[in-house]
């Protein structure tokens, strides 16, 4: 049945080459942990992506209950975690995944750094990777405020103070982030929500696409 | 079509320029309102600090800092609320009033006057042992890097009115 559906589509739009380009390729021996156990270090990039997919999915579902409003944000998080079936699991995935993704990203970066895999012709992919790292830190930072509890509020207070300490443009940066020159409040929460849920994920998708296209074009770096 | 004329714009070039121009204009037309929308808070005029009555009679003030509680009306976009504020107020040696903000300039904790027996007659921050002299000047070697902010103040009918807390640079 599935075969028939596949063939029906393939006959019309020729999807087999697309599939081949995306996924149908040999894993080189020096990258395959089945050949050399130490090759597990090559898994960290894929694990980062795997956790990122979990973050995207769990985040999408969290927005079914969450509201970015100073009077209801905390209550909505409390409700989805205490009252909704499996709410604790879904929020737990998003909460812990946020930390795991940074750890995996860091391990992946260490592997690329110590193997010298960033060298020519892969410099540009290193640059894109660093941008992904910044976007991930931004996602962690903006997501931290959303539960609107004491920890979130005061952590953001500190974040805004740090932004304010930037020379010359600090005051504008602070207002731009917080939405108000003095208050961390209603407009800060909606801004952080918009950045967390729309702006940074959009940037992340673009950067990830560039990262993956480049690794397919250039191939994985050779053995040490 | 004459080939010998200089600076001849080819049909292809002309269309490229025109399309780029029109495309750029359309992109700008789309983005301009969105960017202006996003940076609106930065371009709002600075709120003028209104003076708020503390209900505290100036005659009650002494040379010892007193805790003065007062309430301001805070407008946070679509939320209006009453926010409690605190000032440490005393009369300086020349008789003028000094109203210090209790917010530690290190990380924003609440600074108390003379409430730690190890540091008598000083402002002490319990979070990271920040210290300030009575004038609000931060003690070097403790975490704060700036003196306590001072409220703008005014006296009407013998009652103390406070305005915005103005940050002060290290003397």
pLDDT in tens, A130-148: 999 999 999 999 999 999 9
pLDDT exceeds 70 at position B2: no
Check B76 against A187: CB less than 8 A apart: yes
Q: Which of A189-198, A203-212, B157-166 has the lowest mean pLDDT?
A: B157-166
Query: Whole-angstrom Cα distance, residue A46 to residue B45?
Result: 49
Q: In this structure, are residues A91 and A97 in contact, taking their beta carbons and an 8 Å threshold?
A: no
Confidence of residue A170 (pLDDT cuts 50, 70, 90): very high
Closest alpha carbon to B106 in B154, B148, B169: B148
B40 secondary structure, DSSP code: H
Per-residue DSSP letters for B99-134? EE--B-TTT--B-EES-STTSTTSEEETTTTEEE-T
- In whole numbers, what is the pLDDT of chain A averaged over residues? 95
Q: Does B167 touch chain A (CB under 8 A)?
A: no
The CA–CA distances, whole Å, from B131 to A170, A224, B68, B103 equal: 26, 56, 20, 12
Report residue A109 CA to chain centroid gap. Answer: 15
Chain A residues with beta carbon closer than 8 angstroms to that of B36: none
Query: Whole-angstrom Cα distance, residue A161 to residue A152?
Result: 14
Confidence of residue A182 (pLDDT cuts 50, 70, 90): confident
Residues forming beta bridges with residue B151, ordered by sequence position? B165
Q: In this structure, are residues B165 and B147 in contact, taking their beta carbons and an 8 Å threshold?
A: no
Q: What is the pLDDT of residues A41-93, one digit of tens each?
A: 999 999 999 999 999 999 999 999 999 999 999 999 999 999 999 999 999 99
Query: Whole-angstrom Cα distance, residue B65 to residue B122?
Result: 10
CATH code of B52-166, in short, is 2.102.10.10
Query: Whole-angstrom Cα distance, residue B126 to residue B109?
Result: 8
Angle at A151 between CA A130 and CA A58, to 5 degrees: 55
For tokens 């395959």, the residue is A32
ipTM of the modeled complex: 0.82
Q: Where are the beta strands (DSSP E) in B22-149?
A: 52-57, 66-76, 79-91, 97-100, 112-113, 123-125, 130-132
The CA–CA distances, whole Å, from B146 to B96, B105, B114 equal: 22, 6, 19
Query: Whole-angstrom Cα distance, residue B99 to residue B93?
Result: 14
Q: What is the pTM of this model?
A: 0.87
pLDDT value at residue B168: 87
Chain A residues with beta carbon closer than 8 angstroms to that of B41: 175-176, 178-181, 187
Q: What is the pLDDT of residues B12-68, one digit of tens each?
A: 999 999 999 999 999 999 999 999 999 999 998 887 768 999 999 999 999 999 999
pLDDT value at residue A87: 97
Does residue B42 have a cis peptide bond before it, meaning omega lies within 30 degrees of 0? Answer: no
Check A187 against B74: CB less than 8 A apart: no
Q: What is the pLDDT of residues B60-100, one digit of tens each?
A: 999 999 999 999 988 899 999 999 999 999 999 998 999 99
Confidence of residue A119 (pLDDT cuts 50, 70, 90): very high
Question: β-pairing, B150-156 with B123-125?
Answer: unpaired
The torsion angles phi and psi of B72, rounded to 5 degrees, stand at -115, 155
Q: In this structure, are residues A146 and B37 in contact, taking their beta carbons and an 8 Å threshold?
A: no
Q: What is the pLDDT of residues B107-148, one digit of tens each?
A: 888 999 999 889 999 999 999 999 999 999 999 999 998 999
pLDDT exceeds 80 at position B1: no
Count CB atoms within 10 A of the CB of residue A8. Answer: 10
Q: Which CATH class is domain A33-218?
A: mainly alpha
Burial class from Cβ neighbours inside 10 Å (0-12, 13-18, 19+) for residue A19 reads exposed
For tokens 């053995």, the residue is A223
pLDDT value at residue A112: 96
Q: Does B166 touch chain A (CB under 8 A)?
A: no
Angle at B141 between CA B136 and CA B144, to 5 degrees: 45
Name the residue ranges covered by the structural domains of chain A.
Answer: 33-218
Q: What contacts A173, CB < 8 A, 6 or more positions away?
A: A163, A164, A166
pLDDT exceeds 90 at position B7: no
Q: Distance from A34 to chain B by nearest Cα, in Å?
A: 51
Q: Does B92 touch chain A (CB under 8 A)?
A: no
Q: Does B108 touch chain A (CB under 8 A)?
A: yes
For residues B122-157, b (16+ Cβ closer than 10 Å) or e, as one string?
A: bbbbeeeebbbebebbbbeebbbebbbbbbebeeee
Between chain A and chain B, how many beta carbons pairs sit less than 8 Å apart?
Answer: 38
Determine the angle formed by the axes of helices A73-82 and A87-114, rounding to 10 degrees. 100
Query: Whole-angstrom Cα distance, residue B171 to residue B162?
Result: 23
């Amino acid at each position: 049945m599935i075969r028939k559906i596949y063939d029906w589509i393939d006959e019309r739009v020729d999807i087999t080459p697309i599939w081949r380009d995306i996924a149908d390729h040999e894993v080189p021996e020096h990258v395959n942990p089945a050949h050399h156990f130490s090759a597990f270090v090559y898994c960290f990039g894929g694990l980062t992506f795997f956790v990122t997919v979990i973050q995207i999915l769990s985040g999408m579902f969290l927005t079914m209950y969450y509201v970015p409003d100073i009077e209801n944000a905390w209550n909505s998080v409390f409700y989805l975690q205490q009252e909704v079936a499996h709410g604790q699991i879904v929020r737990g995935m998003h909460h812990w995944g946020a930390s795991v993704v940074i750890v995996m990203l860091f391990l992946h970066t260490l592997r690329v750094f110590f193997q010298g895999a960033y060298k020519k012709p892969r410099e540009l992919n290193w640059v894109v990777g660093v941008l992904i790292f910044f976007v991930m830190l931004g996602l962690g930072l903006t997501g931290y405020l959303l539960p609107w509890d004491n920890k979130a509020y005061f952590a953001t207070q500190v974040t805004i103070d740090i932004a304010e300490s930037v020379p010359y443009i600090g005051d504008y940066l602070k207002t731009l982030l917080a939405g108000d020159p003095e208050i961390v409040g209603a407009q800060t929460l909606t801004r952080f929500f918009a950045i967390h849920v729309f702006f940074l994920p959009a940037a992340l998708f673009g950067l990830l696409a560039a990262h993956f296209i480049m690794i397919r074009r250039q191939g994985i770096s050779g053995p040490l | 079509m004459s080939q010998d004329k200089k600076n001849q714009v080819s049909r292809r070039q002309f269309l490229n320029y025109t399309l780029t121009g029109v495309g750029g204009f359309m992109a700008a037309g789309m983005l301009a309102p969105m960017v202006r929308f996003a940076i609106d808070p930065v371009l709002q005029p600075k709120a003028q600090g209104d003076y708020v009555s503390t209900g505290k009679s100036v005659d009650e003030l002494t040379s010892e800092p007193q805790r003065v509680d007062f309430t301001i009306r805070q407008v946070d976009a679509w939320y209006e609320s009453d926010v409690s504020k605190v000032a440490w107020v005393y009369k300086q040696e020349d008789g003028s009033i000094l109203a210090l903000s209790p917010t530690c300039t290190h990380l924003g904790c609440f600074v108390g006057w003379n409430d730690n027996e190890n540091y008598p007659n000083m402002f002490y921050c319990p979070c990271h042992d920040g210290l300030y002299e009575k004038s609000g000047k931060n003690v070097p070697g403790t975490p704060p890097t700036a003196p306590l902010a001072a409220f703008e103040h005014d006296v009407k009918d013998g009652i103390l009115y406070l305005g915005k807390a103005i940050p002060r640079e290290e003397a």
